[in-house]
Structure 1
Amino acid sequence: MSKKISGAEFPLAKIFSSDFDYVIPSYQRPYAWTPIQAGELFSDLYDFYLKEDKEDTYFLGSVVLIKDEGKPQSEVIDGQQRLTTLTVLLAALTNRATGQIRDAFHRYLCEPGNVLEGLAQKPRLTLRERDRAFFKRYVQDVALDELLGLDPAQLDNESQRNIQANARLFLQRLEAAFGTDTQAATQFGGFLVQRCFLVAVSTPSQQSAFRVFSVLNSRGLDLLPTDIIKSDVIGKVKPALRDDYNDAWEELEVETGRDGFAEVFGHIRMIYAKDKARRALLEEFRERVIEKVPSAEELVTKVIEPFTQAYLVAKHAQFVSTANASEVNALLGWLNRIDNSDWLPSAMRFLAEHDSDAVYVCWFIKRLERLAAFMHVCGHDVNGRIERYARVLHALEKPHSMAQPVTAVELSDVEKQTFLQHFQGEVYLMAARRRSYLILRLDSFLSDGAATYNPAVLTIEHVLPQTVAAGAGWATQWPNIADQVHWRHRLANLVPLTRRRNSQAQNHDFERKKTAYFGGKQSVSSYVLTTQVLNTPSWTPAVVEQRQRDLLEVLSNSWDLK
């Protein structure tokens, strides 16, 4: 079979002819154009039609098809929104016409069939299974009056409501433009099919069609690799089970959202591959996952479904249990604050298999948060993180339980020592996300987990100012510049605030800074760390040194780093 990519510009009279037999594959998104997009299309067409130059042509964009040369069968990879909307517009024109004009318009909606040419009677465009019969019944058979009489709330889905709304819109716009002037409406229809063009890009290869789609910047709605994977997988399910598996797949997509579902597939790839992705998800998922699972049915029920459910639990902190649920969900909340999601495959793999053992879940997630926090605070790059989590994923493939837990998720003695060293350094000079995570996590340890942290604004401020002016009160308490330099950016001298920086207040003396800046309008703070400072009578090198020891002890005990 030739892999040749071909593209040509065709008028709609050719686009909606027996040369093309369009099918919208099941993995495509539902029809999603609303009267906003449909109205813009009609306005563009009508304004162009009114131009004086009656020979000029209007370009409608492109469609990408999987199609063998010389054969009409065309699987639509990109362009279903345009093709469906244009079909509704042609149906609206057909609805207004009578006699031979109506028959002529209707030929663009349905192939009338021809025994001599071997052409069966059928619609030009076949929608997804869920909307196929509806679209044929009301649009392609031109029963628009009945369609508009249906209660939108009783329609099966949003796609059908969009079809109904756009049919109503087109009928209203045609009435406003042409009224009872059937000749003018017919002329507009002639303009539509003769002077409006689409570029049809065709290739017999699915991979090639998807690549073409990826580089074309069209007005269609984006496909994701998961849509193509769905086509591969559902197409291999036994025909009798295909509808049930398709529905199950779409339910998972609805629960996660399209972008979230794509993220799930990336994490499943990591669970199987245990290394950094080096090629497109579509290619790697086929090679690293699909080829490793015996059947399409098993891929859905034993891989995609359980891992998606585990993803939802981990991503949204929704663990349910009669014991430990609040602690587990709090830990998951902290994991989701980390600026990467490399921890998720390990969480998904564990939760998919052991979510019924609440004690073991709590044990594992507590250590996973510590591991993730260690790499986050210490600034591990993506390669280091993936390599470290791969060790956990390898261990999770072996038998394990609370009696014999997965030790790969534990920090080694060297990792613990490295973690402690970062606490002792100049924390303020860390990247903002790493610094904020450490300080808020420390604050949560001090509050025994009772505090919640959702500030619209978070700043980390110095108690001892970064710059001590000569002759100021701070200079009296901190006469040794070396002490100032040593403690300025360390943990003990930092407090979290839910307010924007005030450059002048930063240099106030200690008492004024506490009351006017750290404590806010009511002289209280949302943070235990800041409240401790508010309750401290003086801020000297000895006070800060003791505070540093105390805070390091809290971190060491809470994360079990000794």
Structure 2
Amino acid sequence: MTRHTIEAGEKPILDIFCDKYLFRIPSYQRPYAWTTEEASELLDDIQTACGTTGNVADASPYFLGSVVLIKDPQKPEADVVDGQQRLTTLAILLSVLRDLAEPKIASAIHGYICQTGDPIKGTEDVFRLTTRERDASFFRTAIQAQGATATLPDMRQLKDARARMVENAAFLRDRLKDHSEEQCRRLTMFIAQRCYLVLVAASDQDSAFRIFSVMNSRGLDLSPADVLKAEIIGALPADKQEEYTEKWEDMEDELGRARFAELFGHIRMIHRKQKMQGTLIAEFREFVPTRKAPANFIDSELSPYASAYEEITDRSFSSFKNADAINRQLTHLSRLDNFDWQPPAIEVIARYRDDPDFILQFLSDLERLAYGMFLMRRDPSERIRRYGKLLASIQAKDDLFAEGSTLQLDDHEKLEVRKSLGADIYTVTRIRLPLLLRLDELLSGGSAVYNTPVVSVEHVLPQNPPAASQWSIDFPTETDRQQWVHKLANLVLLTRRKNSQASNYEFTDKKSKYFSTKAGVANFALTSKVLAETTWNIDTMQKRQAELIGAIEKLWRLA
């Protein structure tokens, strides 16, 4: 009879990237998907936890999360059921630190990346992490091999998981390249000695998947909002508790449990104005004054903030004036893949509800700032610092629309945004669709409405045009194609998923069979303007590039 086992334990990285484990990402797992956003957060959190303590052994330990494995207790091979994004990013980070280190330290770090073979035993080197089979060889040569991250491949030639691997390696290297050898050595020591993962290993697949399901179940476990409710309501006089419990629960019902819990994170930010360093409950207790005047907190903060947050997330602001325009601005902001902009929006709508002109102007400039920071590739820590300063200005009643305000872009930032708009927009995967939808609405005079379940971004000039085609005549060199293929001018919107075969059509066929309204494509302004062109060459794209960037520059006052 087969004996099934489950083992769980908290282990430092030095006891994880060791000979006891050879991690494998099964083929059924989704591709590696972490972007520079997640990589930046991981590095920021580790560096913050590391601090400047002289002796790394004295630094407080840092918990990186959990990993679920299928593993025979007697063998090192371990299939990763949950945690591949974190493990892969840690392997990338260690590879970057290795390639920035002097030879002796580099050799030591490589020991965490690769298990050294033994010529006496006849064993070969084995990398401690093997990604999905289709990407494993690439990951070994482009990232894990010694010296690999010093000469990374061109990300523009890569797709999906491989592009993310290279992009994150380049990002982490850029963040760490100016650190001294001692700083990098100390950071590596902290990762190895003081960063912990909880490893949960089941000997059979069924047990592993049950563990994964339980650990990721949303259920109805106590949220931080539940804990804070008990403390805040409990601080009220006994004769007021029932009344305020009803108010609290009405707000939770109106927003829904998930959004109500999210609101407390935004309220923490409104008060703290910095990235969270501890737990939400701990920081809420320290920075949000609730216990001395709990009724005032519920009436004057929680209630107006909950109303504002509902309007922001539902795009349902109502007023005697500007309501439609304000909700359009909220829609533009909602397309971004972060919510860092929401606390300032909550604060302004709660404070200035009776001044819709102010709210509309604020949200228009907030859109400019939020998209601008995305285009300038500001990392989460930089964004949060900027929004923290903006919150302070709002609360100080500064002139938010004056030159030099934290809400406004300075001349250097305007230049950065213009340069980013002129770069390879398609490769910036998280901004290309929101930007193109915003531009399309702008070109349509604000009349565009998007109700389709799928909107995709497609190239006009194909990424890999056939050799014997008009494309190769109009763009005769690889340099010509690479210069233009990912630019804003070469991109259109479709209301269906991409068709790899149709993407290589000649321009005339592409217009009639792939881009036209007869082919079932919505009448996007961006796409319609392409249909009006008779040819698609460098001159065409130069004019279109100038038109599109000019429209955005005028909207966002970038000149």
Distance 2:520 2:215 in 1: 58
497, 502, 505: which one aligns with 1:505: 502
The change in CA–CA distance for 1:402 and 1:216 in structure 2 (over 3 A counts) is closer
Match of 1:264 in 2: 263
Match of 2:197 in 1: none
Matched, 1:286 2:285: yes
Match of 1:328 in 2: 326
1:522 positional shift:
4.7
Matched, 1:347 2:365: no
Distance 1:528 1:281 in 2: 44
Aligned residue runs from structure 1 range 407-418, under 5 A: 407-418=405-416
TM-score, length-scaled by structure 1: 0.59
Following superposition, which runs of at least 4 residues in structure 1 exceed 6 angstroms of deviation? 215-220, 401-406
Q: In structure 2, the residue corresponding to 1:452 is in which secondary structure?
A: coil
Q: In structure 2, the residue corresponding to 1:482 is in which secondary structure?
A: helix
The change in CA–CA distance for 1:415 and 1:403 in structure 2 (over 3 A counts) is closer
Matched, 1:239 2:238: yes
1:376 positional shift:
2.3
384, 387, 396: which one aligns with 1:386: 384
**Consecutive unaligned residues in structure 2, runs of 5 or more:** 1-213
Distance 2:402 2:457 in 1: 41
Matched letter for residue 301 of structure 1: D
Distance 2:261 2:425 in 1: 36
Tell me the percent identity: 38
1:436 positional shift:
0.8
The change in CA–CA distance for 1:286 and 1:509 in structure 2 (over 3 A counts) is same
Distance 2:364 2:444 in 1: 17
Distance 1:549 1:274 in 2: 39
1:257 positional shift:
0.8
Q: In structure 1, the residue corresponding to 2:406 is in which secondary structure?
A: helix
Aligned residue runs from structure 1 range 159-558, under 5 A: 221-290=220-289, 294-400=292-398, 407-431=405-429, 433-522=430-519, 525-558=522-555
1:325 positional shift:
1.1
Distance 1:537 1:476 in 2: 15
Match of 1:20 in 2: none
Report if aligned partners of 1:360, 1:401 keep a CA contact under 8 Å in 2: no
Report if aligned partners of 1:524, 1:531 keep a CA contact under 8 Å in 2: no
Report if aligned partners of 2:224, 2:261 keep a CA contact under 8 Å in 1: yes
Report if aligned partners of 2:459, 2:492 keep a CA contact under 8 Å in 1: yes
The change in CA–CA distance for 1:272 and 1:515 in structure 2 (over 3 A counts) is same
Post-superposition CA distance 1:53-107 (Å, at most 9, x none): xxxxxxxxxxxxxxxxxxxxxxxxxxxxxxxxxxxxxxxxxxxxxxxxxxxxxxx
Distance 2:415 2:217 in 1: 54
Report if aligned partners of 1:444, 1:451 keep a CA contact under 8 Å in 2: yes
Distance 1:428 1:539 in 2: 18
1:218 positional shift:
11
Matched letter for residue 537 of structure 1: T
Distance 2:501 2:517 in 1: 15
Matched letter for residue 428 of structure 1: Y
Distance 1:477 1:370 in 2: 36
Q: In structure 1, the residue corresponding to 2:542 is in which secondary structure?
A: helix
Matched letter for residue 277 of structure 2: R
Aligned residue runs from structure 1 range 31-70, under 5 A: none
1:240 positional shift:
2.1
1:301 positional shift:
0.9
Count of aligned pairs between the two proteins: 346
Report if aligned partners of 2:426, 2:488 keep a CA contact under 8 Å in 1: yes
Matched letter for residue 489 of structure 2: A
Q: In structure 1, the residue corresponding to 2:486 is in which secondary structure?
A: coil
Report if aligned partners of 2:427, 2:486 keep a CA contact under 8 Å in 1: yes
Tell me which moved more, 243-252 or 311-320.
311-320
Distance 2:217 2:308 in 1: 35
1:524 positional shift:
5.8
Report if aligned partners of 2:394, 2:400 keep a CA contact under 8 Å in 1: no
Distance 2:543 2:215 in 1: 63
Matched letter for residue 258 of structure 2: D
Pairwise CA RMSD of aligned residues? 2.3
**Consecutive unaligned residues in structure 1, runs of 5 or more:** 1-214
Distance 2:480 2:519 in 1: 32
Q: In structure 2, the residue corresponding to 1:460 is in which secondary structure?
A: strand
1:216 positional shift:
9.9
Q: In structure 1, the residue corresponding to 2:441 is in which secondary structure?
A: helix
Tell me which moved more, 231-240 or 328-337.
231-240
Match of 1:110 in 2: none
Report if aligned partners of 2:494, 2:521 keep a CA contact under 8 Å in 1: no
Report if aligned partners of 1:377, 1:438 keep a CA contact under 8 Å in 2: no
The change in CA–CA distance for 1:349 and 1:512 in structure 2 (over 3 A counts) is same
Q: In structure 2, the residue corresponding to 1:373 is in which secondary structure?
A: helix
